[in-house]
Chains A and B, each alone.
Chain A
Amino acid sequence: MGTASSMLTQYDIEEVQEHCNNLFSQQEIVSLYQRFCQLDRNAKGFISADEFLSVPEFAMNPLSQRLLKMVDGLNFKDFVAFLSAFSAKANAQQKIELIFKVFDSDRNGKVSFKDILEVLKDLSGSFMSDEQREEALSQVLKEAGYTKDSYLTLDDFIKVLGQSDLKMDVEVPVD
């Protein structure tokens, strides 16, 4: 009886584990593989945007369109690498790196005022006006010692987010 899990050999699992810095156990990778195959309905080897959106809980997420740009078309290895930031074993730095990537949509290594505004726009939709968002953001930036024109780097993110506990753990169900 060829089930999905039997298609992953020990070597495959170890390779994937290495790719995600050993943030997932072997069992977790097997579970993730089953999930990957379930979402990849036509067995193309990647999950399309439409297939991601077929999960209503994901489609309802305010950041789903932004995240889709990051996860659309990933193969299994990269899919696991993306999720590895959510492992309980991932450290704060790894989690903040992912958050930074979400903000840094043009991937130039720095986050501008406009980049943050766009994320805020996703998060608040029509319930805040552009002016309100700009005002709120300028105010908190000023208080943190930045200006509207400054670019935030990964180090700035670590400085701002690193002090508190980030609750960003997602448990992979293992049966």
Chain B
Amino acid sequence: MNNTGRLKSSSSELDLDRPNIEDYLPSGSTIQQEPHGKLSLHDLLNISPTLSEAAGAIVDDSFTRCFKSNPPEPWNWNLYLFPLWCFGVVIRYLILFPIRVIGLTLGWIIFLSSFIPVHFLLKGHDKLRRSIERSLVEMMCSFFVASWTGVVKYHGPRPSRRPKQVFVANHTSMIDFIVLEQMTAFAVIMQKHPGWVGLLQSTILESLGCIWFNRAEAKDREIVAKKLRDHVQGADNNPLLIFPEGTCVNNHYTVMFKKGAFELGCTVCPVAIKYNKIFVDAFWNSRKQSFTMHLLQLMTSWAVVCDVWYLEPQSLKPGETPIEFAERVRDIISLRAGLKKVPWDGYLKYSRPSPKHRERKQQSFAELVLRRLEEK
């Protein structure tokens, strides 16, 4: 098989965590018409099912759809509305934006001037220090939400701090984290980011017990898994928040949930987040823009409107595998937030599918040919 020009396939460690795509795909997507009778030349030359599949994937595929940004509907389409829109642009960029920048800067000043002394002076009083740091981070997140005039409706009971529970949410942008954090100081598991976000991650957010990893490093996964297990046992730790999709999806779809969060033996509390695209698309398309640009886009829009639902906690049913459990929770979240489920692993954004999916198709073809060759 010609492997040149392909990215390296996922390593075996990654595969362990990776649910099998074929298990989720609707049957019938492979060559399954099961013709009978003796094998003929026609059967070997008729490659139309495989070709149709390939062309179908080129024309449209559910995976790319998950990561497509959807621009807001233009409404400035006529002569009367257009000046109004221009007026809006002036207000948004020249009045709202500077006010928001000032507000955010003020927030940072207050935050840093209290966080740094608290962090270093209260070294001996861990409990007190942590609770102050917690409220400071919550406050800072409120400043962030205010900087895009976040209109967030929270439904359901506010999360409580107790051991042996993890919160899982669908993931649209890093602002998910900010939106959730302003209500409750969660410890989050996230991809390590470069730049100023990375700096915040490794300094301030570390104090909340957040855990960072690098998607590409298989070794990181073991360390993270261990840290996770330790974290959920501690009674005084901040509740754990995991985005099991592992990547930002455009808030119309959900991709497969990684099973890591579902095999900790904890109660899983689903959180569904749905953004209203009326003013701005909150999906962070990390391929197209940096997080800074994403924030600027949000800060120059009228408002970010979203709904957050804290849903009923779920636990592993007897006889249920972690993957089935993950799918059940994904069902609950998708239903509440009105998202479509697709059978893809979000990490395919960064790597090619492992050859075993192709092998599955080859195997069924080979078996069919060999069986029908025997038939008389």
Partners in one complex: yes
Those of B1-27 within 8 Å (CB) of chain A: 1-2, 5-7, 21
Interface of B is mostly: helix
Give the complex CA separation of A123 and B360 in angstroms.
11
Give the complex CA separation of A127 and B355 in angstroms.
14
Do A61 and B74 form a contact, CB below 8 Å, given A35-B59, A56-B352, A137-B44? Answer: no
Do A128 and B59 form a contact, CB below 8 Å, given A103-B45, A170-B52? Answer: no
Interface of A is mostly: helix
Pair A172/B45 contact, Cβ less than 8 Å? no
Nearest-CB residue, chain A, relative to B38: A143
Give the shortest distance, in Å, between B203 (CB) and chain A (any CB). Answer: 34
Pair B41/A160 contact, Cβ less than 8 Å? yes
Do A62 and B41 form a contact, CB below 8 Å, given A55-B64, A123-B50? Answer: no
B111-119, B289-297, B363-371: which one contacts chain A?
A: B363-371
Give the shortest distance, in Å, between A3 (CB) and chain B (any CB). Answer: 8
Nearest-CB residue, chain A, relative to B54: A61
- Whether B53 sits at the interface, judged by CB under 8 Å, is yes
Those of A155-175 within 8 Å (CB) of chain B: 157, 160-161, 163-164, 166-173
Pair A60/B2 contact, Cβ less than 8 Å? no
Give the complex CA separation of A124 and B363 in angstroms.
6
Residues of B within 8 A of A141 (CB): 41
- Whether A8 sits at the interface, judged by CB under 8 Å, is no
Residues of B within 8 A of A164 (CB): 42, 46
- Whether B79 sits at the interface, judged by CB under 8 Å, is no
Pair A161/B45 contact, Cβ less than 8 Å? yes
Pair A120/B49 contact, Cβ less than 8 Å? no
Give the shortest distance, in Å, between B44 (CB) and chain A (any CB). Answer: 6
Contact code string B344-375 (vs A, CB < 8 Å = 1, else 0): 10001000110001110111011101100100
Residues of A within 8 A of B367 (CB): 127
Contact code string A62-86 (vs B, CB < 8 Å = 1, else 0): 1111010001000000000001001
Pair A56/B365 contact, Cβ less than 8 Å? no
Interchain CB contact (< 8 A) of A67 among B39, B54, B344, B362: B54
Residues of A within 8 A of B63 (CB): 55-57
**B contact residues, range:** 35 or more
Give the shortest distance, in Å, between A52 (CB) and chain B (any CB). Answer: 7
Pair A62/B361 contact, Cβ less than 8 Å? yes
Count of chain A residues with a beta carbon within 8 Å of a chain B beta carbon: 65
Nearest-CB residue, chain B, relative to A1: B74
- Whether B56 sits at the interface, judged by CB under 8 Å, is yes
Nearest-CB residue, chain A, relative to B46: A161
Do A144 and B53 form a contact, CB below 8 Å, given A58-B58, A161-B45? Answer: no
Residues of A within 8 A of B53 (CB): 57, 61
- Whether B51 sits at the interface, judged by CB under 8 Å, is yes
Give the complex CA separation of A139 and B43 in angstroms.
12
16 cross-chain CB contacts under 8 A: A1-B74, A39-B58, A49-B5, A53-B352, A58-B58, A60-B353, A61-B358, A62-B50, A99-B51, A102-B47, A119-B47, A124-B369, A125-B1, A137-B44, A146-B41, A171-B59
